[in-house]
Structure 1
Amino acid sequence: MRLIRTLVCAAAAALVSAHGVAAINASGLGAAYNAGHTAITFNVYSSRATRIELWLYANASGSPENLKVVMTKGTGNVWTGSVTTSALTSAGISGTVYYGYRAWGPNWTYNSGWTKGSSLGFVADVDAQGNRFNPNKLLMDPYAKELSQDPTNPSNLDGTVYASGASYRLMDSGSVAPKGIVWVPDTQSVGTKPTRAFKDDVIYEVNVRGLTKADSSIATAYQGTYKGAGQKAAWLASLGVTAVEFLPVQETQNDTNDVVPNTDTGDNYWGYSTLNWFAPDRRYSSDKTAGGPTREFKAMVQAFHAAGIKVMLDVVYNHSGEGGAWSSTDTTTYNVMSYRGLDNPTYYELTSDNQSSYDNTGVGGNWNTYNTIAQNLIVDSLAYWRDTMGVDGFRFDLAAVLGNTCTQGCYSYNKTDTGTALNRIVREMAPRPAAGGTGTDFVAEPWAIGDGTYQLGNFPSGWSEWNGNYRDLVRQAQNQLGSVAVTTGQLATRFAGSSDLFGDDGRQPWNSVNFLVVHDGFTLGDLYRCNGKNNAQAWPYGPSDGGTDNNESWDQGGAATAQRQAARTGFALMMTSAGVPLMTGGDEYLRGLNCNNNPYNLDSSGNWLNWTRTTDQTNFQNFAQAMIAFRKAHASLRPATFYSGADNNGNGLQQLAWFEPSGAVADSTYFNDSNNHAIAWRIDGTELADTYAALYVAYNGWSAQVNFTLPAPPSGKSWYRVTDTCSWAEGPGQVRAPGSEDAIGGAGTVYGECGRGALVLIAK
């Protein structure tokens, strides 16, 4: 495989500029009309095919092909075919153009007598080089801008038609297979992209469908769609959200969701199994005509941009929806839908014998991320969503796989290797500057499943990361004291931006994306309501398989008031921590899933956001909204660089100082003693261009009240209370509006903070 990679790199060298940056889709892969819209050119990559045919259809499904074109192999292993619109019309294709490819290669040689369903030319399902060509399978174009439907859908529930192996290889998929769609490019605007610095963002992670599917304020036809999501832009802006991060919207298998009502039956709600990295998911569009999903997605982006909100996408480039082996003991039976049938060893990392997919993700097989051509698809796709679709940033699922330096039978993460996908992405697509401006926000989920994949804090410059350590420590401090040892020094490091993870390589606190919950695991409400997972329950809250048993959750003794208090405390700590806060859709009203911690398959009312609020939910939403506003109002909570004085030793206290409850400066002895569970800190706002001279935050992790002796405020100032998360203060005004804060006192004032509560003060 090293030799193969060398040859591929040599072939691609001509596409790289003197600055080492490859042109975006330099080979023009995909399908496109000419300037006069009189012809369409189709380009597809394959280094191993011996023949590729373009098959064109008048209908998406259920009909035979109307026209076939033999493609020609040209420079760089790009196969080309062209067809005029007059030829399409003559063939009976007068409206939308649907297309796919059929390919032959060393393991299935071309025979002129071959017909659909024939075995002529068959040698093996997989040969010694890893080829898996099968002309009985119509292949999706990897660069198609839209797909007609999912492989299985209400009209075709038989997924075996796409498989190889003795039982399935002669089944022809042409009439039912997803097809690429060609249409004249649209002119829908995406508006003006926000240029806000990433450090100033508050991210809201949500599923497009789940955001509005149960929202009665949205017209029924638009519920659960891109258009419906765009209509929530003003509401999200009023909540304080500055970036909406959508769970995967690239085409995935979800057309069969809800085909059998009130069951899970293989539903795919989250979307972490991508069929095509260019096509917006058709199911999320109210306009399903050719180009409709693209136009509607861009209109949604424009609506968010008009509200000042960035649009970020959760993207999955570590594996594909084509899946892995059907059986651990059978190397012949795999789905052949697209990449596998065009150039299996290029697009997928294979085992050392080339007979199976190498799987370091637990989801079917690694994308071959160290291969130049496979990387091209990643970068070309990202550029398309950035430039054409208007997307502002990306969160990468299982991103450690993109740091792999192996192309066959192994995994080896390397942060500094310039040839990895991680380094290529930020080299060719400029990250947003620290101070804001034109650029892209890149966020990694810095782990996968296999050995060597946990790389938190070890990503290259240009990348921010989900800080799983922040999540774990705050959860443990709130929910697991007595069974897990957590020191105040550990918490202090997380609250101050995690310099131990990001400060050693020139990155800054805003490269830490802080979160308590995300889609994967408990909701914020369930984190403080559940002692363990309950995934086997009935629809609509289950059943779901999998889910971690280590949730670091606790029901707070079963008292609802204590549960809401714990949620307020956790949310307040996140909003007063250095880094970028990430909340999940529904956190603002303590959405719950009855303790299901793995609802990936629940496309149900139990998993969609609820837009009817109880009094308690309204109070929490007001609290969340006010805490977000407080964060946005104070530059000192959003530092561009690490605080000076944040070394946990009491030295150099210029911007940040840590205190014991007694008022004494916290030193290493206090920080390192796991018997201490209360900590406070004072931020010097004057040093950080804040509107207020100083802020003070105290956290009491004990179950009983702790008295905090307040440090001196700046000269001529007194301390005023913004919020106390304790239950005594619960209500619509729990966070005081600017100018209505409660006077507390000056230096030496003793404040009694309830057990498991947090206090926020300002000096004025």
Structure 2
Amino acid sequence: MSFGRKSLCVALGCVTLNSTPALAAINAPQLGAQYNANHSAITFKAYSSRATRIELWLYAAPSGTPEVARIPLTPGSGGVWSTAVSRARLTRAGIGGAVYYGYRAWGPNWTYDSGWSKGSGLGFVSDVDAQGNRFNPNKLLVDPYARELSHDPTTPANPDGTPYASGPLHRTIDSGSVAPRGIVLAGDQQSIGTKPTRAFKDDIVYEVHVRGLTMNDNSIPAAFRGTYRGAGFKAAYLKSLGVTAVEFLPVQETQNDTNDLLPNSTTDDNYWGYSTLNYFAPDRRYAADRSAGGPTREFKAMVKAFHDQGIKVIIDVVYNHTGEGGAWSSNDKTTYNVLSFRGLDNPTYYTLTSDMQATWDNTGVGGNYNTHNPVAQNLIVDSLAYWRDTLGVDGFRFDLAPVLGNTCEVGCFNFDKMDSSNALNRIVRELPPRPAGGGAGVDLVAEPWAIGGNSYQIGGFPSGWSEWNGSYRDIVRQSQNKLGAAPITTGQLATRFAGSADLYENNGRKPWNSVDLMVAHDGFTLRDLYACNSKNNGQAWPYGPSDGGEDNNNSWDQGGVAADQRKAARNGLALMLLSAGVPMITGGDESLRSLQCNNNPYNLDSSANWLNWNWDTEQTHFQSFARAMIAFRRAHPALRPVDFYSSVDNNGNVMEQLRWFKPDGGVADSGYFDDPNRRAIAWRIDGSELGDPAAAIYVAYNAWSDNVDFTLPWPGTSRKWHRVTDTCNWAEGAGQVRAPGSEDLVGVEGSSYGLCGRGVLLLIAK
């Protein structure tokens, strides 16, 4: 998600809590619902430090039926409440198959009264008390550690969300008949295949929505389109494209069952899924098999399908806020949704304002999850470990990740990467990142911005973390699309192309900690970046309407010339694939997917927002270009350095692995780098220094609108320069990128090459 910056910590005093680092075994208290070894009983455990009574309510069906048992939990040490239920007792209660359950909780603001019944106000004191408690026994609560959910809070059959609300109008509405219920899973030994151990520096990331990947794909059986199983069918295609890591938009349970409630409408739709209801449960909407256990089995089968092709599975996770959301209105501190976390221990799971009456918000979509609280951190770490160990996930991309670096629990926000007790550092300690050279571990990627305070943190994350490099995106976009309007220098470009040492080197991180991107799900597609002067989000279905969206996109329609739009897209893709760092492609960009200038399609669960698999000739040519450029990157380790471009020989001399050139062949100096009137730059990478099959690689980028002659540098002893590709329109077509062994001879040291305006040239020395 992407938001502008604004100050939040103004009117309220900030309180910083300096607690000791939270260290614990993965889910040490065994929270959740788990069968014993012989499946003769289930133990239910939930956390609350403030509840005075918690009851387990058991159901024989996923919805629409009354409870079959109501069992009080016993409080224990450390705020853990528990009970054990035998299989015999379940059978007597009429539960012979899947076990569905939820909790009801009482506390200081709603005291227990034995006369209470569903829909009663007995025991009510306040919707929220001075300590921030929001207990309400009329709300059936989802177990935060449930492994699957029966359904979403609102469904086509029950579209009314008021049963979940507190406040004077809704507090006595009982949610039990419509609320999601947790599902007890028995566990299995289902294979997730062999996890790839590839170094992150060697990855090509493909970001895509699991539903959108196949909903328009007629090669997939209709029953499996838009599902985990359908996504697994695309593993072979992504391998053929050269992709090594698929990054799925959120697949943890979110409110999306009602996306189709109003056909051809975006009203209340949530397509992207950045509003998590439960951090363990795979979203059942993306499962062809939605029976109890079906989403989990199907997700694991999908992971295996990708692993069998050598492709990592990375998932986008949202630990900065939850699907419970914030206040129903800005001037009402009583009316909040009580679905799960809030009804069990509101001050533990959410960062609150200083008066404890409202949620603190750095996300724009609800209150901050309390990432600095050790118990709330436990849930983050425990759920990540579950996705890693049980479901087979290889890495995680963290939405609005500065919230995980927060050091405050009450009345403020403050990002501090040096705080060893923040969630960012704990995740690295307990879920070790993959080593630089590859091996076991997880790939950790941060979206390094949120809203307000010091939450804009590109380059500011601690060791172990990679980041979406928004600075790379912005500078390259401005160079391409804002000629004469943005004072981008060749020095700024060089820094980004070489791995952004200014952002990562002083933090002990490396070029591959920069995830280089030109576009993402959040914003224009690659095609629209070069075909749209501004966003157009108010258009009719299926391309809209969508609200919000960034106004400053650094986009340009290239004067409306279609061939120039395709050239610009080739340039953006080529520059990204030729830069140090880890390139990320957004699904469909390899075939010039367009959303007709909608740059915020978060609510657009439509055919226009699903990937299109019926390409015209130009789209097919662009896909061939993308495939060949990915193959070139993968074939040349010099483009994927483990460290910044320099080395030291046995005598302590620094050996230059990369050298920058002016168009006239002279070495670029600081005067050239710092002059915003210079718009052309070239660089030579010494392949022999980096174990590359090419003795040298030469890239020239001309951001001018007119032709520029580049004088070629030394290609190496007895070597000549050969052209791999020239993105200019004269070369457009299926074979624009030459296959290995068929590159075109273009010259030697001192030869001149005329590169068109706004073009990229790629040569190798042979």
TM-score range, shorter chain: over 0.9
Whole-Å Cα distance in 2 between the matches of residues 389 and 274 of structure 1?
18
Tell me, what secondary structure is at the counterpart of 2:410? Answer: coil
Matched AA of 1:127: D
Partner of 1:421: 423
Whole-Å Cα distance in 2 between the matches of residues 397 and 226 of structure 1?
21
Partner of 1:92: 94
Partner of 1:80: 82
Whole-Å Cα distance in 1 between the matches of residues 336 and 657 of structure 2?
58
Tell me, what secondary structure is at the counterpart of 1:522? Answer: coil
Partner of 1:226: 228
Partner of 1:733: 735
Pairwise CA distance, 1:183: 2.6
Runs of 4+ displaced beyond 6 Å: 1-6
Tell me, what secondary structure is at the counterpart of 1:277? Answer: coil
Counterpart of 2:204 (choices 192, 202, 205) is 202
Partner of 1:641: 643
Counterpart of 1:568 (choices 567, 570, 590) is 570
Partner of 2:3: none
Unaligned runs of 5+ in 1: none
1:463 equivalenced with 2:465 (yes/no)? yes
Whole-Å Cα distance in 1 between the matches of residues 594 and 44 of structure 2?
48
Tell me, what secondary structure is at the counterpart of 2:381? Answer: helix
Q: What are the residue-to-residue correspondences of 1:227-242 with 2, within 5 Å?
A: 227-242=229-244
Does the Cα contact within 8 Å between 1:318 and 1:369 map onto a contact in 2? yes
Rate the CA distance shift 1:5–1:413 in 2: closer, same or farther, 3 A. closer
Whole-Å Cα distance in 1 between the matches of residues 568 and 262 of structure 2?
39
Partner of 2:39: 37
Tell me, what secondary structure is at the counterpart of 1:434? Answer: coil
Partner of 1:125: 127
Tell me, what secondary structure is at the counterpart of 1:628? Answer: helix
Whole-Å Cα distance in 1 between the matches of residues 444 and 543 of structure 2?
33
Whole-Å Cα distance in 1 between the matches of residues 219 and 202 of structure 2?
30
Whole-Å Cα distance in 1 between the matches of residues 262 and 46 of structure 2?
37
Pairwise CA distance, 1:35: 1.1
Partner of 2:9: none
User: Per-residue CA shift, 1:218-270, capped at 9, x if unaligned?
Assistant: 00000000000011001000000000000000000000011110000111000
1:398 equivalenced with 2:400 (yes/no)? yes
Pairwise CA distance, 1:652: 5.8
Partner of 1:704: 706
Partner of 2:504: 502
Partner of 1:273: 275
Whole-Å Cα distance in 1 between the matches of residues 225 and 458 of structure 2?
37
Pairwise CA distance, 1:481: 1.2
RMSD (Å), alpha carbons: 1.5
Partner of 1:695: 697
Does the Cα contact within 8 Å between 1:536 and 1:542 map onto a contact in 2? yes
Whole-Å Cα distance in 2 between the matches of residues 315 and 344 of structure 1?
21
Matched AA of 1:755: G
Matched AA of 2:732: E
- Identity, % of aligned positions: 71
Matched AA of 1:119: G
Tell me, what secondary structure is at the counterpart of 1:76? Answer: helix
Does the Cα contact within 8 Å between 1:125 and 1:132 map onto a contact in 2? yes
Q: TM-score, normalised by structure 1?
A: 0.97
Whole-Å Cα distance in 2 between the matches of residues 372 and 670 of structure 1?
51
Matched AA of 1:624: A
Partner of 2:10: none
Whole-Å Cα distance in 1 between the matches of residues 194 and 464 of structure 2?
23
Counterpart of 1:178 (choices 177, 180, 183) is 180
Does the Cα contact within 8 Å between 2:414 and 2:453 map onto a contact in 1? no
User: Per-residue CA shift, 1:610-667, capped at 9, x if unaligned?
Assistant: 0101000000000000000000000100000000299xxxx96620000000000000
Whole-Å Cα distance in 2 between the matches of residues 330 and 3 of structure 1?
24
Whole-Å Cα distance in 1 between the matches of residues 522 and 705 of structure 2?
29
Whole-Å Cα distance in 2 between the matches of residues 469 and 741 of structure 1?
33
Whole-Å Cα distance in 2 between the matches of residues 332 and 240 of structure 1?
52
Q: What are the residue-to-residue correspondences of 1:345-356 with 2, within 5 Å?
A: 345-356=347-358
Whole-Å Cα distance in 2 between the matches of residues 552 and 489 of structure 1?
19
Does the Cα contact within 8 Å between 2:15 and 2:410 map onto a contact in 1? no
Partner of 2:7: none
Does the Cα contact within 8 Å between 1:186 and 1:291 map onto a contact in 2? no
Does the Cα contact within 8 Å between 1:645 and 1:656 map onto a contact in 2? no
Matched AA of 1:86: A
Partner of 1:543: 545
Matched AA of 2:116: W
Pairwise CA distance, 1:522: 0.1
Counterpart of 1:485 (choices 480, 484, 487) is 487
Pairwise CA distance, 1:3: 12
Whole-Å Cα distance in 2 between the matches of residues 245 and 561 of structure 1?
30
Does the Cα contact within 8 Å between 1:5 and 1:371 map onto a contact in 2? no
Partner of 1:407: 409
Pairwise CA distance, 1:186: 2.2
Q: TM-score, normalised by structure 2?
A: 0.97
Tell me, what secondary structure is at the counterpart of 1:483? Answer: coil
Pairwise CA distance, 1:4: 12
Matched AA of 2:594: G
1:104 equivalenced with 2:106 (yes/no)? yes
Whole-Å Cα distance in 2 between the matches of residues 106 and 4 of structure 1?
26
Whole-Å Cα distance in 2 between the matches of residues 479 and 760 of structure 1?
21
Pairwise CA distance, 1:60: 1.1
Matched AA of 1:526: D
Whole-Å Cα distance in 2 between the matches of residues 457 and 717 of structure 1?
39
Comparing 181-190 with 660-669, greater Cα deviation is found at: 181-190
Pairwise CA distance, 1:187: 2.2
Unaligned runs of 5+ in 2: 1-12
Does the Cα contact within 8 Å between 2:14 and 2:411 map onto a contact in 1? no
Partner of 2:140: 138
Matched AA of 1:686: S
Pairwise CA distance, 1:5: 7.2
Partner of 2:747: 745
Tell me, what secondary structure is at the counterpart of 2:201? Answer: helix
Pairwise CA distance, 1:161: 0.5
Pairwise CA distance, 1:409: 0.7
User: Per-residue CA shift, 1:423-465, capped at 9, x if unaligned?
Assistant: 0000111100000000100000011011210011010000000
Counterpart of 2:63 (choices 39, 45, 61) is 61
Rate the CA distance shift 1:460–1:25 in 2: closer, same or farther, 3 A. same
Whole-Å Cα distance in 2 between the matches of residues 110 and 269 of structure 1?
40
Tell me, what secondary structure is at the counterpart of 1:205? Answer: strand
Whole-Å Cα distance in 2 between the matches of residues 165 and 204 of structure 1?
44
Tell me, what secondary structure is at the counterpart of 2:149? Answer: coil
Whole-Å Cα distance in 2 between the matches of residues 134 and 734 of structure 1?
65
Partner of 2:386: 384
Does the Cα contact within 8 Å between 1:230 and 1:300 map onto a contact in 2? yes
Rate the CA distance shift 1:733–1:4 in 2: closer, same or farther, 3 A. closer
Q: What are the residue-to-residue correspondences of 1:240-259 with 2, within 5 Å?
A: 240-259=242-261
Does the Cα contact within 8 Å between 2:591 and 2:622 map onto a contact in 1? yes
User: Per-residue CA shift, 1:592-626, capped at 9, x if unaligned?
Assistant: 00000000000000000001010000000000000
Higher RCO structure, 1 or 2 (CA under 8 Å, sep 6+): 2
Pairwise CA distance, 1:146: 0.1
Pairwise CA distance, 1:83: 1.1
Does the Cα contact within 8 Å between 2:138 and 2:173 map onto a contact in 1? yes
Comparing 151-160 with 653-662, greater Cα deviation is found at: 653-662
Does the Cα contact within 8 Å between 2:522 and 2:599 map onto a contact in 1? yes
Counterpart of 2:191 (choices 181, 189, 192) is 189
Whole-Å Cα distance in 1 between the matches of residues 484 and 539 of structure 2?
30
Does the Cα contact within 8 Å between 1:404 and 1:414 map onto a contact in 2? yes
Matched AA of 1:460: P
Partner of 1:315: 317
Does the Cα contact within 8 Å between 1:493 and 1:500 map onto a contact in 2? yes
Whole-Å Cα distance in 2 between the matches of residues 204 and 665 of structure 1?
36
Matched AA of 1:570: G
Does the Cα contact within 8 Å between 2:469 and 2:517 map onto a contact in 1? yes
Tell me, what secondary structure is at the counterpart of 2:760? Answer: strand
Matched AA of 2:763: L
Matched AA of 1:436: G
Pairwise CA distance, 1:107: 0.1
Partner of 2:266: 264
Whole-Å Cα distance in 2 between the matches of residues 416 and 276 of structure 1?
29
Pairwise CA distance, 1:736: 0.2
